[in-house]
Chains A and B, each alone.
Chain A
Amino acid sequence: DGGITQSPKYLFRKEGQNVTLSCEQNLNHDAMYWYRQDPGQGLRLIYYSQIVNDFQKGDIAEGYSVSREKKESFPLTVTSAQKNPTAFYLCASSVRHSGAQPQHFGDGTRLSIL
């Protein structure tokens, strides 16, 4: 079945540590996205990629980095510069970025600080 796979499901970060969240899709979608979800807030966009080897900052990119070396993969690194990383992180993809294409989501990674 086609879909989006995020791993790990739970992740713990020590102070000063960088951690990487994995996102893989087999939907053959061009566009991929990373969102952060906090209680009582709407999803907020961290980074997005319209095509391989290209990505743009979203609304809350500070303290995060991404890469898009393959169409299927869009990993997110939470760096030590992100002072409040505890959240539920969601990866999404869509056929293309422009136009009203629905985004489809993975089942998330919950990141906590040790």
Chain B
Amino acid sequence: EDQVTQSPEALRLQEGESSSLNCSYTVSGLRGLFWYRQDPGKGPEFLFTLYSAGEEKEKERLKATLTKKESFLHITAPKPEDSATYLCAVRTGSQGGSEKLVFGKGMKLTVNP
């Protein structure tokens, strides 16, 4: 069964305290890994797509990396406005077959000033 596990479930940081969020997965036929940010009462906002092991993407204070079994979302010198729930999702399946997006449960980040 395809599974995506995010850890920790919640994380509190002080402003400027860098950390990493983990997304581990066991899926058949990885076709892409996605990171989203979700604010309370809003829909997920797309951040990154990673396609293959070794790939990295950056956006402001966020950097996403991918290995064969997991992805990390590194947050450097976070600010209070980075507080949100971060979702990881993995695209599985074979082209023309039953492709689907499997989501983790999310990780709630709180950055205190």
Contact = CB atoms under 8 A, between A and B. Distances in A.
Interface residues of A, number: 23
A67 interface: no
Contacts, number: 54
B32 A100 contact: yes
Interface of B: 4, 31-32, 34, 36, 41-46, 49, 51, 87, 89, 91, 95-96, 99-106
A105 B39 CA distance: 12
Nearest to B31: A100
A40 interface: yes
Nearest to A98: B95
Interface of A: 4, 6, 40-45, 58, 90, 92, 97-100, 102-108, 110
A108 B43 CA distance: 6
Nearest to A9: B41
